[in-house]
Amino acid sequence: MIKNVSDQLVEMLKQAGVKRIYAVTGDSLNPVNDAIRRDGEIEWIHVRHEEAGAYAASMEAELTGIGCCMGSSGPGHVHLINGLYDANRAGNPVIAIASTVHTDKLGTDNFQETQPTLLFQDCSKYVHMANTPEQFTKVMQHALQTAISERGVAVVGLPGDVASAKAVEVETSSKSYKTSSIFRPTDESIAELADLINKNEKISLFCGLGAKDAVEEVEELARKLKAPISYTFRGKIFFDKEDSPYTVGMNGLLGNPAGYHASHDADVMLMLGSDFPYTDFLPTDNTIVQIDTKANKIGRRAKVDYAYEGDLKDTLKALLPFIKEKEDDTFLAKHKQTFLKDLESYEASSDDISKEDHVSPEAAAHIINRLATDDAIFTVDTGMSSVWAARIIKAKKNRYLTGSFNHGSMANAMPMAIGAALAQKDRQVIAMCGDGGISMLMGDLATIMQYNLPIKIIVFNNRSLGMVKLEMEVAGYIDWNTDMVNPPFHKIAELMNMKGIAIHTNSELESGLKEAFDYDGPVLVNIFTDPEVLAMPPKVTFDQMKGFAESFARKVFTGRIGSAGEMVKAGFDAIL
C-alpha cells in the first residue's frame, strides 16, 4: 500500500514517543483516523469535547514528556484552544493537529474554514500550515522539535486533501530529537553565589516546579544553611513532607503565614526554579537570588539582585561543596514553629459540623490525604477545591499534584485526570473538582465510562462559585450570580456506569471516602460542603478587610443578611 501523509504523521508521532491521541473524529481528520486504525500502535481516545482532549494531552505530556490532541475542521480545533493555552503556559510539550478544509477552499470563507496560523498563535510556541506533502514533513518535524525542546504547544494545520495525499520524501529529517546537557553557571558565578550565601545568616529557599528534579540537592542546601523551605503551589508536592525539618509551607494567595514570612524575614531569599506570578507576596527589602533555566524569566516577578541561568540540579551540585555549614538554627526554628501552628489551625477548622449539607471541606481533604496512596496523582480544579489541596494534601514517596496553576481555568481537574489515568495506569488518580468545574465539562464523564478509567472524582459541592464569591466580597461587592443549582452529580455518575456516592454530613465522610478509595473502578463522590467556608490568604490587607465590611453592609441594606450583628459575625468569621 502506498504511504500517504497521514501514515507519515503516525510514524513521526510514534518516533517522538506519542502513545495515544485525544480527539473527536470527523471531516478532514478522517484520513488521520484511518491511518491510526491501520497502524494499530497509537491509541485513539474518543473524548466528548476537544477541550477535554487538550487538557488530557497536556497532563500526559506533563507526566511523560509528550502529548497529542487533534481537532477537525473549524469548530473541532477551535475547541482545543483553552486546553492548549493551559498546556503552553504550563510548559507541557503538546503537539496539536488542526485539520482543516481542502487547500482549494482556503481563503473562500468556506464552510467550517478557519485560519489556524492566526487562531493558535497566542497559545503555542509554533504554528504553521502544511499546504503540500513536501511541506508537511518539514513543518511536522519542526513542530515536534519545538514542542519538545521549548516545552510548549506546537500546532500543525493540516488540510484534508494533504492528509490523504501521497507522502513525499524530503531532504531534511523526519525525526525529532531529545537532547540532554549539563547546564549551569560558570565557576566564577558559582563562587560569587557561594560567597554571598556564606556571608549571610538568615537564608530562605523558595522553590517552584523547576526544583522537582533537584529535591535532594535543595534539602541538602537547606540542611547546611539551616534554611526554611517555602514553595509555590506547583512546587509543594515535592517539598511539603510531613517529616521534613525544613518545610515551612506555601507562599502565595493560597499559602500560609509561615511560608510568606520565611521569605520576607530572610537576609537572602533564593528563588529556585520558580516563575512565581504573585508579586505582592514576594519581599522587596532583602537580597533576592534567582536561578532559572530561562534567563528571560529572571527579574520579571521580583527585584532580583543576583541572577543565574542553569538547570537547578546541575547548579546546586556545583554549589554545595563551597557552602559552609551553619550552626545556628534560630531562623529555621522560628518559622517551623509558626508553620506547625498553621497546621493546628487547619486541623481545628475541620471539626465536626452537625448541620446537614454543611460538610467541612478541610475535614474531607484531610481524609483524602490520609487514604490516598503514596504515589497518587492529584489533579485539582481552580477555585476553593484548590485551597484545600494547597493547604492539606501532603507529599509522600512519589505523589504528584497539578492543576491549571498558570492559566487558572475552570474545569481542568477531570480531563487532566483522564490523561493521567491513561498515561500512568499503575497509579491511583484523584480529581479534586469544584461543582462549577465538573459542571462545565460534564460530558466527558462518558469518556471515563467508555474506557473504564478508575479515577476517583471528589466533587467539593458548595453550590456556588466559591472563589469568585470571595473575590467579590474582598472587593466590596455583593456576591451576585455566584450561586449554583446543581444536578445530583452522584446520580449522573451512576447513569454513566460509575459508582456514585453522596456525602451530606461530616459523620459520613470517613465511610464514604473509604468506600470510594476501596472501589475497583471509577467513582464520583458528591460532597455537600459548607458554602460559607472561605479561605483567606496568608497576608490580609486593610483593603481586603474594608472590602468585606462594605460587602456585608450592602447585604444588610439589601436584606441578604438580617441584622448588623449577623453582618459583623459573618464578616469576622470569614476574615478570621
- Each residue of 444-474: pLDDT tens digit? 999 999 999 999 999 999 998 887 877 777 7
pLDDT of residue 478: 81
Cα separation, 386 vs 409, in Å, equals 12
Which stretches of 302-383 are DSSP H helices?
312-319, 330-348, 361-371
Beta strands in 241-318 (DSSP E): 247-250, 268-272, 287-292, 306-309
Do residues 323 and 226 share a domain?
yes
Do residues 258 and 293 share a domain?
yes
The reply to whether 199 falls in a domain is: yes
Phi, psi of 89 (to 5 degrees): -75, -25
| Paired strand residues for 21 | 44
Cell reading at 394: 501532603
Structural domain boundaries enclosing 297: 187-329
Which residue type occupies 212? K
Cα separation, 491 vs 461, in Å, equals 14
Helix, strand, or coil (residue 29): helix
The reply to whether 180 falls in a domain is: no
Do residues 63 and 26 share a domain?
yes
Cα separation, 249 vs 239, in Å, equals 9
CB neighbour class for 31 (10 Å; exposed up to 12, middle 13-18, buried from 19): buried
**pLDDT at residue 540 tops 50:** yes
Cα separation, 479 vs 51, in Å, equals 29
C-beta of residue 62 within 8 angstroms of C-beta of residue 401 = no
Virtual torsion, Cα 128, 131, 134, 140, nearest 10 deg: 30
The reply to whether 177 falls in a domain is: no
Residues 76-102: tens digit of each pLDDT: 999 999 999 999 999 999 999 999 999
**pLDDT at residue 172 tops 90:** no
Do residues 324 and 356 share a domain?
no
Residue carrying the nine cell digits 503514596? 374
pLDDT of residue 535: 64
Task: Please compute the mean of the pLDDT values over residues 241-247 and round it to a whole number.
Answer: 93
Cell reading at 244: 521534613
Terminal-to-terminal C-alpha distance of the chain = 71
Domain boundary, last residue among 300, 329, 358: 329
Cα separation, 39 vs 43, in Å, equals 10
Average pLDDT, the chain: 91
Do residues 324 and 354 share a domain?
no
Residues 467-521: tens digit of each pLDDT: 787 777 777 888 888 888 999 999 999 999 999 999 999 999 999 999 999 999 9
> Alpha carbon of 131 to those of 5, 160, 337, 361: distances in Å?
11, 10, 63, 53
Q: Which candidate, 374, 206, 364, places its Cα nearest to that of 275?
A: 206
Do residues 239 and 294 share a domain?
yes
Cell reading at 390: 494547597
Give the CA diameter of the chain.
Answer: 81
**pLDDT at residue 571 tops 50:** no
Domain boundary, last residue among 129, 163, 197: 163
